[in-house]
Amino acid sequence: MIGGGCNINGVGYIDRVDLTAAGTYAVRVAAAPGDTGRAAIRVYVARDVDGTLQANGPEVTATLDHPGAWARYRFTGQQGERVFVEVPTSTLPHQCSPLELRDTENRLLSSGCVINGVGEIDGTLLPADGTYTVVVDPTGRTTGATTLRLVSSRDREATIAVGGPPVVATVDRPGAVTTYRFTADAGSSVSLTATASDLTDQCGVLELRAPDGSPITSGCVINGAGDIEPTTLPASGAYRVVVDPSGVATGQVTLTLR
Residue 242: give its domain's CATH number.
2.60.120.380
Least confident segment among 17-21, 173-177, 203-207: 17-21
Q: What is the structure's pLDDT at 191?
A: 98
Query: Do 147 and 67 lie in a common domain?
Result: yes
CB atoms within 10 A of CB 45: 8
Query: Do 114 and 150 lie in a common domain?
Result: yes
Domain of 61 in residue numbering reads as 49-154
Whole-model pTM: value is 0.85
Domain assignment present for residue 165? The answer is: yes
Q: What is the mean pLDDT of residues 240-246?
A: 96
Strand duo 71-77 + 49-52: pairing: parallel
Q: What is the mean pLDDT of residues 105-111?
A: 96
Domain assignment present for residue 105? The answer is: yes
pLDDT above 90 (res 188): yes
Query: Do 137 and 215 lie in a common domain?
Result: no
- The alpha carbon of 231 is separated from its chain's Cα centroid by a whole number of angstroms, namely 29
Report pLDDT digits (tens) over 24-79: 988 888 888 888 888 888 888 888 899 999 999 999 999 999 898 999 999 999 99
Q: Indicate the number of domains in the chain.
A: 2
Q: What is the structure's pLDDT at 16?
A: 82
Domain assignment present for residue 230? The answer is: yes
Domain assignment present for residue 42? The answer is: no
Assign 107 a pLDDT band (cuts: 50, 70, 90): very high
Query: Do 120 and 184 lie in a common domain?
Result: no
Domain boundary among 113, 137, 154: 154
Query: Do 128 and 219 lie in a common domain?
Result: no
Phi and psi, residue 39, nearest 5°:
-140, 125
- The alpha carbon of 153 is separated from its chain's Cα centroid by a whole number of angstroms, namely 15
